[in-house]
Structure 1
Amino acid sequence: MTDAAPKGVVLHPGEMKAYERGGGARTIPLVGPRIGARGFLNGMTIFGPGAAIPLHTHNCEESVLLLEGNAIAEIDGERHEITAGDISWIPEGVPHRFVNASRTEGMKILWTYARVDATRTLVETGETRPVLAEHGD
């Protein structure tokens, strides 16, 4: 990317690479520095039936929109049943995770981090790494 002002783009997630997250989830990174974004990251994570991601925190705010399916949003020790169209806001440092509530259907979320250098810290291990590193960036 050059120092020139970035131009807007249209992304087609169905044509983009998905990265395995483990536990039956895979992520498609969307908006980020690769296309010129300077203020936030977003992407989609697709969960197989019963899939979940580990409890974790971030170094910034996050918002998650449930696009498809039914889920459990675990946020700071509370479990919330959510359905397609529901959206969450999670402050920096608050432990959270999303679980596909269905054993037979998939689930899909759109996530947005409030900074391009967002990190994920796993609660169980304390391991921290950049979100972008999980996507091959």
Structure 2
Amino acid sequence: MTQPDPRRAAVLRPAEIKTHDRGGGASTTPLVGPSVGATAFINGITSFAPGTKIPFHSHNCEESVVLLEGEAMLDIEGQESVRLQALDTTWLPPNLSHRFRNLSDTQPMKILWIYARLDATRTLTETGVTNFVSAEHDK
């Protein structure tokens, strides 16, 4: 396999990239990562079906999320929940338990996520199970 050229830009078209079912009404399309030459961060898009919420979890690095479309709630353990509108942008420090919820029972919701490490992990708060975010894209 040929290694990506770190001096060459990439244009990624989500409609042409395999989407991965995360279960429970959430699906993810990985975008920037090592396969295009990234050395410092990864990102992607997660879509939430109407009414979908993902479990509380945390990461081993900083995370930023942009609400691309829909109505969302950000729940942060130990803090007041925050309602998000399209293009609202969040920043979360490492190891802070949180989750996103689609507030609509009829419309989808979509987020762009960015993790500050290539080896970003997701640890489920309830079970303590930890997986690399990139491993979810191999399912």
Please name the residue that 2:132 is paired with. Answer: 130
Query: Aligned equivalents of 1:37 and 1:129: distance in 2?
Result: 20
Displacement after TM superposition at 1:3 (Å): 7.7
State TM-score, norm by structure 2.
0.94
Query: Aligned equivalents of 2:65 and 2:3: distance in 1?
Result: 31
CA RMSD, Structure 1 to Structure 2 (Å):
1.4
SS at match of 2:95: coil
How many residue pairs get aligned? The number is: 137
The question of whether the paired residues in 2 share the 8 Å contact of 1:22 and 1:53 is answered with no
Please name the residue that 1:114 is paired with. Answer: 116
1:70 partner amino acid: E
The question of whether the paired residues in 1 share the 8 Å contact of 2:5 and 2:37 is answered with no
Query: Aligned equivalents of 2:47 and 2:5: distance in 1?
Result: 34
Aligned counterparts, 1:58-97, within 5 A: 58-77=59-78, 78-97=80-99
SS at match of 1:134: helix
Percent of counterpart pairs with the same letter? Answer: 55
Please name the residue that 2:12 is paired with. Answer: 11
Query: Aligned equivalents of 1:3 and 1:62: distance in 2?
Result: 25
Structure 1 consecutive aligned stretches of length 4 or more whose deviation exceeds 4 Å = none
Structure 1's unaligned 5+ residue stretches are none
2:15 partner amino acid: G
Please name the residue that 1:104 is paired with. Answer: 106
